[in-house]
Amino acid sequence: MVRKPLRQWMLRITAYADRLEKDLESLDWSEGIKKLQRDWIGRSTGAEVDFYIGAKENVATWKSDRSASGFPRKPDSDVLRVYTTRPDTLFGATYMVLAPEHAAVESLTTDEQKSAVEDYVAKAAAKSDRDRQDDKTKKSGVFTGAYAINPINDKPVPIWIADYVLASYGTGAIMAVPAHDTRDFEFAKQYDIDIVPVVQPTDNDDIDLEKLAAGEICFAGMGTAINSEQYDGTPTAEFKQKITQSLGSMGVGSEAVNYKLRDWLFSRQRFWGEPFPILHELNQEQYSKGAVEFTGKVRTVADKDLPVELPKFDNFNVQEDAGAGNEYAPPLDFADEQWLYPEIDGVVYKRETNTMPQWAGSCWYYLRFIDPKNDKVFVDPELEKQWMPVDLYIGGAEHAVLHLLYARFWHKVLFDRGHLQTKEPFQKLVNQGMILGDIEFTGYQDGNSNWVSSNDVHRDEERQPITKSGEALTPVKIDPDDAQKSGNTFVLKEDSSISVDSRAYKMSKSRGNVVTPDNVVETHGADSLRLYEMFMGPLEQAKPWSTAGVSGVRNFLDRVWRLVVEGDKDADKNEAQNEITLSSAVVDTPPNEEQTRVLHQTIKAVTQDIEKLSFNTAIARMMEFANFFTKQKQRPKECLSQFLLLLSPFAPHIAEELWSVLGNENTLAYEPWPEFDEALTIESSVEVPVQIMGKIKARLNVPRGTSKDDLEKIALADEKVVELLKGKNIMKTVVVPDRLVNFVAK
């Protein structure tokens, strides 16, 4: 593999880093996701410091010049500028490191080191940023032969090149403080560079001070300054401020903010993607001779010609040596001439042939959905005002840092350009949990097919199962019927000394535990599938699939069906009923008191549970309703109609069907949501437990709202309580009306 620099389109998301971080505050998102975004943006405050690399004898002059001129916005060529989050460790900076791509590498390298440096730079170019930052691989680097001057103490420090420093972070150069940075430490050990500790850990840090002083260990925490001349004894936080200020007045440093967030590479060398509406002007003379040469001028495609559509095409591969200076040309470079070289006002242009990534759609689809047919603007401001922001966004946590950050960025750009009235697109965010495969039992066998208890199974570096001595083990899938519970684990039925793993795995083709929704719809129906997914457990939690559980909700829907429809004894469960007739139990009379109460309790619970996105408990309450009304010989139509409205968002098909069976003319979709009357949900009497020393000993049936005093009297009069309290002193009585009575007695 070879890494080649390509000319690409970037979006300057870094310009929005600050706002993308700050505005998170206003959002109703989980702290976990907010933290992920904050960390991704990676705002840090520290200082930029210039190290002099000019001739040694000129250091004093440079310094006096700087104290007069102050810290320049851009570094001059006689300095190396570094960014550090720990300016307080400046006295411990014993070397500097440049990224291999740093612009100063060539000029700094001495003749003796030249070939070594060139070799190293070439090797680093072949590695990805990811590999370079991998902690597991050994640090590598090469000395340039040059030195820089540490501005705080005028000591010369060697300048190295190493690929653990990335050109894209900070200034592409660092001051290395091996005593207080783990990567610098590792590197210094490897190349035998001085290690000078300058931070004394506080007493509660468990650090061996002697080893630290000897340069044998590294301490990355905060503490107080040592070996830092006049700053000795200053606490880290205070030191940071002081030294930054001091560097500032010397003109060699300045407070700086840095972000881990990089600008966003936004072009792809693919056919399928939105074309950039950009035209490159061609040298007209050359073009007339059949040659393509750019003048360097670009213009955007006129509004009236938008959107740029992809040309008809049959070659979708990236081509090598496509000409026009592109060593690797995107497919669109091979589009027909008419598309590729439009002429405007007598000037011929070449279209941009990179295309946009998928994000180009996902970053603003929610805006277009508001007004999808508008051919004047991408969204009517009135409609935007009415609909935005998105009230509730339910999505997977895998979008935490990419999609959700990118979309926020676009939204802010559009806001700044005056196209939107909202600063943030997604007000509330909920991450739904993943549905895992069915629970599996796994046992382990050694080479002789003997079972090995899962307690004795270890994992090698690739997480493969091995024995303690390192022998490879084979995982064996076990039939649930062959496993049983024993204490906290599952064991084999045939040998209870062998424990087995039990867990649900992410659905994957390779594991073969994928459940296809279409198949479930086929066997159980779409309503059952939808209802089951909502019934499985809390929305945000990962939970294992269970096909048996689908039958459970299907049974519920069947019971609901029979609440309304006369049972057909000949009908098979999975076949359509021949004749659908209203059940004789359905009556047109008003509900009795208990039926009214159950209805209103159900409306209340379901309504509130939906608000909380607690769909599993909402469904449980509807099951209770169905169980209750199944037992009712007379089922008032009114109750059933209201119930069907509650059910309709969960199981729309059956609800609509039964709505019609009940004799309603129109669809239930336009019916108002049922309302409950709080007064009708309350039962007149309530059972109150009586505890003695915190143990329940009796239960009282009393009118709701019985006062504290009355409740205590009633409790004390209870036969059982009297008997148990005989000969004891009541030390304390706790009475919570409608809840409980507790006697503390000895």
Report 424-453 residues binding RNA (CB under 7 A). 439
Choosing from 119, 134, 495, 594, the residue that interacts with RNA (CB under 7 A) is: 134
- Tokens standing for 717? 């009069």
- Selected binder of RNA within 247, 529, 553, 603 (CB under 7 A): 553
Catalogue the E-assigned strands of 405-513. 426-431, 435-436, 439-445, 451-452, 458-459, 465-466, 474-478, 483-486, 489-492, 499-504
Q: Within 10 Å of residue 647's Cβ, how many Cβ atoms?
A: 27
> What minimum distance in Å lies between the beta carbon of 583 and RNA?
13
Using CB under 7 A, pick the residue from 432, 551, 632, 664 that binds RNA. Answer: 551
Question: Which one of 3, 12, 22, 35 is in contact with RNA (CB under 7 A)?
Answer: 35
Contacts of residue 736, defined as CB under 8 A and 6 or more positions apart, other chains included, come to none
What is the number of alpha carbons within 13 Å of residue 610 lying toward its C-beta?
Answer: 13
Q: Using the rule CB under 7 A, which residue among 55, 257, 392, 696 binds RNA?
A: 696
| Site residues (CB under 7 A) for RNA, limited to 512-541 | 535-538, 541
Question: Least CB distance from residue 356 to RNA, whole Å?
Answer: 23
In the complex, the smallest distance separating the C-beta of residue 670 from RNA, rounded to whole angstroms, is 29
Per DSSP, the residues of 326-379 read EEEE-GGGGS-HHHHS-EETTEEEEE---B--THHHHTTHHHHTTSTT-SSSSS
If 0-12 CB within 10 Å is exposed, 13-18 middle and 19+ buried, where does residue 445 land? middle
DSSP helix, strand, coil percent of the chain (3-state; round to 5): 35, 25, 40
- Listing DSSP states for 678-718 in one string gives HHHH--SEEEEEEEETTEEEEEEEEETT--HHHHHHHHHH-
CB of 714 to RNA, least distance (A): 15
The smaller minimum CB distance to RNA, of residues 23 and 558, is found at 558
**Site string (85-114) toward RNA, x via CB under 7 A:** ------------------------------
Q: 598-631 in b/e burial notation, b at 16+ Cβ within 10 A?
A: bbbbbbbbbbebbeebbbbbbbbbbbebbebbee
At residue 23, the 3 state secondary structure works out as: helix
Site membership for RNA, residue 739 (CB under 7 A): yes
Which region, judged by CB under 7 A, interacts with RNA, from 119-127, 202-210, 358-366, 542-550? Answer: 542-550
The amino acid present at 192, given as its one-letter code, is: D
Partners of 224 in the β-ladder: 200, 235
Minimum separation from the CB atom of position 629 to RNA (A): 11
Burial 279-317 (b: 16+ CB within 10 A, else e): bbbbeeeebeeeebeeeeeeeebeeeeeebebeeeeeee
Q: Rank residues 699 and 728 by Cβ distance to RNA and give the closer one.
A: 699
Tell me the closest approach of the beta carbon of residue 687 to RNA, in angstroms: 4
**704 near RNA (CB under 7 A):** no
Count residues binding RNA (CB under 7 A).
63
For residue 616, the minimal CB distance to RNA (Å) is 5
Name the phi and psi angles at 80, rounded to 5: -110, 125
Binding mask 599-628 for RNA (x = CB under 7 A): ---------------x-xx-xx--xx--x-
- C-beta of 418 vs 694, nearer to RNA: 694
> Is 394 an interacting residue with respect to RNA (CB under 7 A)?
no
Token pair belonging to 189? 């050990």
Tell whether residue 740 is a contact of RNA (CB under 7 A).
yes
26 binds RNA (CB under 7 A): no
Nearer to RNA, 114 or 739 (CB): 739
Cis geometry, peptide bond prior to residue 389 (ω within 30 degrees of 0):
yes
Q: Is 737 in the site for RNA (CB under 7 A)?
A: no
Q: Which two tokens stand for residue 51?
A: 């190290």
- Using CB under 7 A as the binding rule, whether residue 493 contacts RNA is answered as no
Can you give the binding site for RNA, defined by CB under 7 A?
Answer: 31-32, 35-36, 130, 133-135, 397-398, 439, 485, 488, 503, 506, 535-538, 541-544, 546, 548-549, 551-553, 555-556, 558-559, 562, 572-573, 614, 616-617, 619-620, 623-624, 627, 630-631, 686-687, 689, 691, 693-697, 699, 732, 734, 736, 739-740, 742, 744
